[in-house]
Structure 1
Amino acid sequence: MPSFRLFFPFGLFFFVCLLSCQSNKKTPDISHIKADVKIERFDQELAQLDTLSVPKQNKLWQTKYAPFYQDFMLHMLEVGDARDTLYIDYMMKRILQQEDFKNLAAAVAEKYPSLQTQEKELSLAMRYMKYYFPAYNVPRFYSFFSGFSVQVPIGEGYVGIGLDMFLGSDSKFYPSLVRDIPLYLSRRFTPENITPRVVESILRQDLYPPDENNTSSLQHMVYQGKILLAMDSILPETADSLKIGYTAKQLEWAKGYEGEVWSWFLQEDLLYNTDHLRIQKYFTEGPFTAELGENNESAPKLGTYLGWMLVRKYMERNPEVTLKALLANSNAQEILEQSKYKGK
């Protein structure tokens, strides 16, 4: 089994905070918590690699960037086991000579000459993370590019940041990738998405992975709501549109039709539905929520949005419940009942 998990969360383009519906909960005092994030620029070292230095650097990186480097070579760049020196030497020399590699390396370097902004944002997020989860060990952070294979890989003691998946919505590369990455996804590949996507991946992969026993729409709804509520706590200054991955128009639509969508869930008996093929339409990415009609103007993943609002309402009505206690409560029905959520 590989020592990492690939995570491809999808955030969305940043829009003004006036259109977000952020929680008014007072933020805690984290002045006593230290968590200084330094992103290690593996992307720069890779971009500067020349063919004559491959054997030496391959050996060095196996130690310097362990275990990230082994995962990167085997599962992200997909060139093979880093310990297979002869094969790696051959494959890396081929890659380094490709114009596509050179062009991508240049684009990453131009977009990200510095990651100080992201380091500052992540340091603040990790301080909140440590406040809510004191036992959490802040990982090492590595920036890299892999030819658009993965955005935020999570591994043993590390978080990777695939900068080629954050080049900006207007990047020249993304239109040619539409068969694998639709434009409604790639337009979210912006610098502002780095910190939210890192936090989301840590929550989903390390701190609160999904329960395989969750089969009903309500259970999925509450799970998604818990993730976004945790993001509210860890990213208190981040726009809601960025956390959930909506455009400003989609967020406005979801807010405006929240009551009607909730009524639709009740009318169609969707809350307790366990038909995966049907309920997944309310939780997956897309340009809109497919079951509401083709090419409609709805926001996507409306089950996720409703879950977020439901869990927010639960926490508002139960201020004594901590974030850890919320995540530990696996009773989605209890959370629904105590929230008294009715679509608003």
Structure 2
Amino acid sequence: MIDNVKHRQIYLIFLFAIAFISCKQDNRPDVSHINLDIKIDRFDKSLYANKSKNPSEVDRQMAKNYGFFYDDYIHRMIGSPEYSNDQVLNTLFKDQAYTDLTKDVDSIFPNLKLQEAGLTETFKYIKYYYPKAKIPKFISFVSGFAYQMPVGDNYLGIGLDMFLGKDSKFYKAIVQSVPLYLSRRFTPEYIVPRVAETYAHEELFVEPDENHTLLSKMIFQGKILYFLDQVLPESTTDSIKIGYSTEQLEWAKQFEGDIWAYFLENNYLYETDYQKIQVFLSEGPFTPGLGENRNSAPKLGTWTGWQIVRKYMEENPNVTLQQLMADQDAQKILNQSKYKPKQK
């Protein structure tokens, strides 16, 4: 009798587990039918493999294989139009710093299979929602910390030297130009979210010129983050989506009501002076004016916009992702979100 009860309990637990997993999976559309397999072209490996060859020969080969990207790389990322391609390559190949950096990149990224799988999943969702979306060629490179994610003619570049891990010796050496609050996010797990965010901003949803108020900018940025909610792998944390540390995310959640009250009490929502509102949208170690001893999370306008959009979609389940992203009425989204977080 006891054994039968135990068996029934185990069976019920198994059924609940299956139901839970099914519910979680059913939150997203089925994209298994979308035929897509993204590969990242390792320009960084290809260029370094040719460093012992004649620069003129390398130049011809790279120009043929990489076209517009190679031209941008030579003339904008690591060189300038004043110097010939041969001169730029010759200088680069003789630079010990380039050799050291490339070897470090190669040790951390012997392959990009994990990133390719993440991008494949992400862009399957993007193609599901936007079937006509044109997927660019993804090219990895090393530029000596000059560029992280450039977008050019049919390509999206991934500067692998900007994702070596927050404890990389290189970031400690360039702290004057790249502060630690930025380099702490230069980790491999940020590649796929940053690609998706860059693609969304540059290719799908360009911010309207008429977005002048803090509210309109908050809602726009919030919609981008909500879009990431829908297309990134489900394992992607909110902290990585917005670029917060775990502590910053918890701070923003804990003081959500106080943040909103601060915006209302200071009449910031309809402020159009960019100097006044950019502190709530820009990267930084914290948000000025909020928190004690500079312990607040940064870009709290963006964070709040995200929460408003999430609440709006929760209150309006019939609104599709495409309808949300096309809707430029920030005031309507705020009103219909019924967003009223409680103060601490």
TM, length-normalised to structure 2 = 0.89
Moved over 6 A (4+): none
1:136-285 mapped onto 2 (5 Å cutoff): 136-235=133-232, 236-285=234-283
Compared with structure 1, are the counterparts of its residues 99 and 117 closer, same or farther at alpha carbon in structure 2 (3 Å cutoff)? same
* 1:61 and 2:62 correspond: yes
Whole-Å separation in 2 of the counterparts to 1:196 and 1:242: 7
Q: CA deviation at 1:24?
A: 10
Letter in 1 for 2:60: K
**Which whole-Å CA distance do the structure 1 matches of 2:291 and 2:193 have between them?**
30
Q: Which shows bigger deviation, 300-309 or 89-98? A: 89-98
Distance in 1 separating the partners of 2:112 and 2:212: 40
Bigger share in helix: 2
Amino acid at match of 1:32: H
Aligned to 1:328: 326
Bigger CA drift: 103-112 or 60-69?
60-69
Alpha-carbon distance, 1:301 to partner = 0.6
- Contact 1:33 1:127 (8 Å CA) reproduced: yes
| Residue in 1 that maps onto 2:108 | 111
User: 1-side partners of 2:210 and 2:28: how far apart?
Assistant: 33
Give 2:301's aligned residue: 303
Aligned equivalents of 1:193 and 1:104: distance in 2?
19
Q: Distance in 2 between matches of 1:154 and 1:277?
A: 27
Percent identity over the alignment is 47
Whether 2:131 is the aligned partner of 1:131: answer no
Letter in 2 for 1:207: L
> For 1:117-137, what per-residue CA distance to the aligned partner results, in whole angstroms no more than 9, with x for missing partners?
111111111101101111012
* Aligned CA-pair RMSD: 1.7
Give how far 1:319 is off: 1.4
Aligned-partner SS, 1:67: helix
User: 5+ unaligned residues in a row in structure 1: which ranges?
Assistant: 1-22
Moved more, 310-319 or 285-294: 285-294
Q: Give CA deviations for 1:15-63 in whole Å, capped at 9, x if unaligned.
A: xxxxxxxx99811110111221011110001112225332112112212
Structure 1 length-normalised TM: 0.89
User: In 2 relative to 1, CA 124–293 (structure 1 residues): closer, same or farther, beyond 3 Å?
Assistant: closer
- Tell me if 1:45 matches 2:46: yes
Which whole-Å CA distance do the structure 2 matches of 1:157 and 1:92 have between them? 24
Letter in 2 for 1:56: E
**Aligned residue for 1:12?**
none
- The unaligned stretches of length 5 or more in structure 2 are 1-23
> Secondary structure at 2:305's aligned position in 1?
helix
What's the counterpart of residue 96 of structure 1? 93
Q: Distance in 1 between matches of 2:341 and 2:200?
A: 26
**Shift, 1:152, TM fit:** 0.8
* Preserved CA contact (<8 Å) 1:95 1:101: yes
Post-superposition CA distance 1:38-90 (Å, at most 9, x none): 11110001112225332112112212112211111111112438xx8xx2212
Find the aligned partners of 1:78 and 1:291 in 2 and give their Cα distance. Answer: 41
Contact 1:288 1:295 in 2 (8 A): no
Count of equivalent residues: 318
